[in-house]
Amino acid sequence: MFNITLDTSGFEKVLDALAKGVDKISDQGLNEMGDELLRLSVKEVPHDEGILSASGVSQKDGKDWEVGFHTPYAARLHEHPEYRFQKGRKGKYLEDPLKHNLSKWLQIYATNLRGLF
């Protein structure tokens, strides 16, 4: 009979370090994407006195990332693109920049992930 014993402790350490690195890189990528989405959204958000645009946040929320605007009327204005806003501003001010920049989000994430390897 022939027995082989493998010590995988080194391999497991590398995998643990890699997993922690991926979590860190993921957070960095989400941070960059969130900040960029907020920056793009502020350009489209309805603007009268600037209260709505000033309420914008990009922040970690548990394991997720939150990007949004926090006024009592933010959701109503966002969900009614038929409203006529001044200065070329519009509804869907958060959703449209998110949808129209998918390649940018992938590029940001990929750039951060490349740094890990």
Q: Give the chain's residues under pLDDT 70.
A: 117
**Predicted pLDDT at 17:** 80
Structural domain boundaries in the chain:
22-116
Q: Sign of dihedral through CA atoms 15, 18, 24, 27? A: negative
Q: What is the pLDDT of residues 55-82, one digit of tens each?
A: 999 999 988 899 999 999 999 999 998 9
pLDDT for position 31: 92
Share of the chain above pLDDT 90, in %: 56
Q: Distance between CA 53 and CA 48 in Å, rounded?
A: 9
